Amino acid sequence: MTIDKQPSCADDSEPQLLPVDAAMARIANLVRPLATTETVSIADCLGRVLAQAVQSPIAVPSHTNSAMDGYAVRADDRDQAASTGLRVVGSAFAGRPWSGELQAGEAVRIFTGAVVPPGADTVIIQEHTELDVDTVRFASDFTPGQNIRHAGEDVAAGDRVFVGGEQMSPAHMCMLASLGINEVSVTRKPRVAFFSTGDELRAVSDPSSSPLNAGEVYDSNRYALLGALARMAVDTIDMGLVPDDPVAIRDTLERAGETADVVITSGGVSVGEADYVSKTLHDIGNVAFWKIAMRPGRPLACGKVGDAVFFGLPGNPVAVLVTFYEFVQPAVRRLMGCRDDGQPFRFRVPCTSALRKSSGRTEYQRGILYHDDDGQLAVKTTGKQGAGRLSSLCLANCIIVIPPNADAITPGSLVEVQPFTGLV
C-alpha cells in the first residue's frame, strides 16, 4: 500500500537554521482541529475540550442563602437587637429550610448554605452575638444585607458559562455538576502513535539478563513520550521498538499513518543521516527536515504521513522532551480544538546563576525555581547542560528559555522560565 503525499510544512529540506517562531508558525498552519465530537460524562471529561458552548439551565446559587453560621434577622430590628434582643423562633439548616416567615422582633438560627427565610434580609455571624436562652442580642453597627448570597449572583439561568474550545479542569467539572449537567459534547481524543527505531536500542522489557553490548543503549525515548502523552487527553498507540529494516519501518509508518492523527518517532531525522526512517519518509510522506535554531533539539522533521501529522524528534532524550513540549504538545492541543494558542505558560524571574549561551539560537536550559531568602521566586541552573545529561532534567522543575538575540546571562538578570508543573 502507498500513502498519498499530503501538504507539508515545507517542500524541501531546510539547509539554513530555522527560527523557533517560524517552525511553530509552520506547524500551526499544518494542523487543523478534529471535526469529530462525542458526548461524555462529566466524570470522564477531565482534560477534554468542549465542542460547543455550555449554557446554565439554573441559577447559581439556586436559592438565596447564608454565607455564614449565625442569625437571620431584619435590618430594621437593629435597635431592638442591641437593647432587649430578638426572639429566636427556629433554625434553618442547609437542605432543611425554616418553614415560617420572619416577623418583626424575631431571629432564626441559620447555618452556612441554609436558605434565608422570607422576611429576613441580613445574617449576623454567631461570633458577634450573645444568646440568652431564646433571646439573641448584637450591636447595631452592622451592614444591612451582609453575609447573604443571593440567588443567581454567580450564574443566572441561561448564562453562557463556557465556550467551545475550553479544556475541562477540576474546576470546570465542579461547575458543571453544580449546574446539574451530567454530560457534555467534546472533541474526540486525538490518536497519537509513536515508536523507536535503531539497532543500537535494547528494549527495557527485554528478558535477556545479558549486559548491554558495546554501543547498545536502552530504549528510553519511548517512555519519555509515553509519560508526556499520559498527561494529555489522547489515545496513545505504542508501536514499540522497530528494527533498522526498511521494510519494517515502512510498514510501521504506513500503519501509523492509517490509524493515528499524530505520528512521533525519535532519532534518524538529521539531514543527510544514513537512516532508514528519513529515507522511508521521503518515499511515503511529505515531510520537511529542518535544522531549528535551538539547543537542544536542532534536528526536527515535520509534515504528513497519510492523514496524520508527523513529528520526527531528535534522538537525544533531553531534546526529545524539549521538542515535544515546544512543538508537539501545542500541535496536539490545536488538534483537540483548544481555543488558546497552546503555547507553554512562561514568566520572568531573576536568575541567580551565570549562564553560558551562544548567540543566534534559542536555548532551553534546565533550571530550578525556588524561593529566595526574601520569599521571592528566583531560578538557578541545574549545572552542566550537556544534551546527554538526562539526570539534570530530573533535577529541574522548569526550563530557562533564552532568546536567540541574548548572550551570556549574568546573575541577577531577568530570564523567562517555563515551569514543568503539569508537564514533566
Per-residue pLDDT tens digits for 137-156? 999 999 999 999 999 999 99
- Inform me whether the pLDDT recorded for 50 exceeds 90: yes
pTM above 0.75, yes or no: yes
Helix (H, G, I), strand (E, B) or coil at 231: coil
Q: Where are the domains of the chain?
A: 17-36+189-336, 39-59+156-187, 65-149, 347-419
Please enumerate in sequence order all residues whose Cβ is within 8 A of that of 47, keeping only pairs 6 or more positions apart, or say none. 167, 168, 232, 233
pLDDT band at 2 (very low <50, low <70, confident <90, very high): very low
Give one DSSP letter per residue of 73-115, joined into a string: E-GGGHHHHHTT-EEEEEEEBTTB---S---TTEEEEE-TTPB
Give the count of alpha carbons within 13 A of 418, CB side only. Answer: 17
- Distance CA(81)–CA(75), nearest Å, equals 10
Closest among 359, 395, 360, 403 to 379, alpha carbons compared: 395
Rounded mean pLDDT of the chain?
A: 90
Name the one residue in this structure whose C-alpha cell is 436559592: 63
Q: What is the CATH number of domain 65-149?
A: 2.170.190.11
Pick the CATH number of 347-419 from 1.10.10.10, 3.30.450.90, 1.10.4190.10, 2.40.340.10: 2.40.340.10
Instruction: Tell me the β-bridge partners of 262.
Output: 192, 309
Letter string b/e over residues 179-216, b meaning 16 or more CB atoms within 10 A of that residue's CB? bebeebbbbbbbbbbbbbbbeebbeeeeeeeeeeeeee
Closest among 322, 327, 331 to 363, alpha carbons compared: 322
- Quickly name the fold that domain 39-59+156-187 has: Molybdopterin biosynthesis moea protein, domain 2 (3.90.105)
Residue type, 21: D
pLDDT band at 422 (very low <50, low <70, confident <90, very high): low
- Quickly name the fold that domain 17-36+189-336 has: Molybdenum Cofactor Biosythetic Enzyme; Chain A (3.40.980)
pLDDT band at 123 (very low <50, low <70, confident <90, very high): very high
Give the pLDDT confidence score for residue 333 in this predicted structure: 95
- Inform me whether the pLDDT recorded for 269 exceeds 70: no
pLDDT band at 384 (very low <50, low <70, confident <90, very high): confident
- Distance CA(345)–CA(369), nearest Å, equals 14
Give the pLDDT confidence score for residue 207 in this predicted structure: 63
